[in-house]
Structure 1
Amino acid sequence: MTSQSQIRKIIHIDMDAFYASVEQLDHPELKNQPLAVGGSEKRGVVAAASYEARKFGVRSAMSGMQAKKLCPDLIFVKPRFDRYKEVSKKIRAIFNQYTDLVEPLSLDEAYLDVTLNKKGNPSATLIAQEIRAQIFNELNLKASAGISINKFVAKIASDFNKPNGQKTVAPEEVESFVASLDVRKFHGIGKVTAEKMYQMGIFTGVDLKNQSLATLEDHFGKSGVRFYELSRGIDHNPVIPDRIRKSLAAEHTFENNLASEIYMLEQLKGITTEVSKRLKNQNTAGKTITLKIKYSDFNIQTRSKTLDDYTLNYDVIYQTVKTLLLSNELNNSVRLLGISISNLNNTTTPKNDNVSSQLSFKF
């Protein structure tokens, strides 16, 4: 187990139904209504669902058609990402009042290392309560939190008392907490890996812990080492501010399937504009351009090209995706097109997390 001198205090803050909550905040008539952001009852995918909609089984990444079947009274609204970013910045400003060691995972969640914090508060639990209360008082939005000695445990803990709650897993509780978890809760264990573990008789954290390092490496390669550590509540990954972005993307799902490449090229112009804008906003450029095509049968195809030089130029990106689109025949009519730029020339270097110890530890 982690020694006293190495213990960190990590908070994972997760906004509750963030996109839907912002919509309900800005449009009071939507309050307490089953709401889906994104998609429609005919097309598209749900990006977020209010808790009123979740009671019916509506979830993010679900098709709009399926969501409407589950909840006939479901209200669909178009996402307003500029607004969500605006609110997210205000939330980030609150985080920064407590610590500069903030690692955003998305617009609605982040890790905070408060081992040494600006408030001089020795209790990470109290800090999480203060942050959640400040978010609600200033923005009228609710957040949940997980508090523990590392990112792995803190993130899982933030789900336990949602919505509008928090859970602390103290140092002496970490191993028993991890032991009771379903292996699907572990980082890096998806559906396929979980099925493989089930076949090996590994269902919970304690089952995973009972496996030898050699056995886990033999079955899962390098990931086996990670699983071995996580089953013991060990996660040395630091909170990294200004995380380097690996790619930027934009995509669009169409109300009606497109069969004409001419219409597709027109749609790609708008998507290219959005990608170019995001690159400029992030002050970065990329070399690898990927065209994503989702067909009407939901099969997905990607086509990529790596350029000789970095670019954020609209014309270069559009001409590249145009070439990619026309390079091969399409398999079917198309319901979605997307463009992503990777191999970015990020110039910002993540700050090192040198905060690893504090004598007094109060959760």
Structure 2
Amino acid sequence: MICMKYTVLILVCAHLFSCAETVVYNPEMGGMSSNTTPPLDPSWGGSPYGGMPAGGMEVNAGTQATAGTQNLGGMMINAGMQAGEPIQTMPNCNTQEICDAIDNDCDQKVDEDLLCACTGDTACYGGLPGTQNIGECRDGVRMCNPSSESWTTCTGWMGPKEELCDDLDNDCDGNSDEGLRNRCGDCAPEVQEICDGEDNDCDGVTDENLLNMCGTCGDTPMEVCDLLDNDCDGETDEDACSILDLDLDGDCLTVTCPAEAPYPISCNIDFQGGDPRGCVAYSPPGSSVYLQEGNRCGSGKVVGTLTCSNQVGSGLNANNCPINKDEVTYPADSSGCAETD
């Protein structure tokens, strides 16, 4: 009975429609029907809804086939199909297999024995080995050309570039900004250390090689004649002072400081005559001091000290240059002292 049914279907297919059409199993209509209108022509010797088809063969619409799926000349018939299900057609199984992801030769394999790019990965990369998908390096895309069974050119990929200081791994070596940041971590040249109490160059040391002997910024202070260790070398007033011991005859005298300490900064004068007046004349930055007792330049005597410095002082006065007289003056030059006889 199953073989008879298949024969009827083949005859109907040959007369009514091409094998590309779909034939539907419909038990309510007595068996097979096509998607054409009308389904069958009674003048061909058969009934459009079963009964006696061409050749007087009886088709039993209620018969269940158990033979599974049959391939009849390119048309698939499922003997166990349900009502309303289409009978699927198959491709021409005599064609050669091509690269199109379809089983062209009906051997249950797709694109077999072909060097077919269609079944490969569309991701591609044209950069150096070991850099793919590292840092800023990215895959591109290639497309398959089924007719030539080959990939198109890989486009859109990004390979290694020169490293920039931008927090990115431009050269795709797994590191960012290598060799481009300074010790402080900035995208800039190394910072020069300045003497400001800060670690400007980020080396862990503050003001290195910039502090003077006194531990302060700037040049080492010059030693001056002030009884202090100005240059922080452990010595006081070295090479800064020259103290002249005075023991001079006369009462109108000029005393000059030496070249290594040319500036008078203090004195202690004792006039030995009997006149109550004493005068010390000096004007910075001169090197000489004029000493006069009274108004006579006779046979008096002057004793005491004169301190000279390598730094210019503010001048001589009663505070830094006391005189043993009741009437004392400190003019800028000798003309300010009493007029002499």
Q: TM-score, normalised by structure 1?
A: 0.15
Bigger Rg, structure 1 or 2: 2
Higher relative contact order (CA 8 A, sep 6+): 1
Q: TM-score, normalised by structure 2?
A: 0.16
Which structure carries more helix by proportion? 1
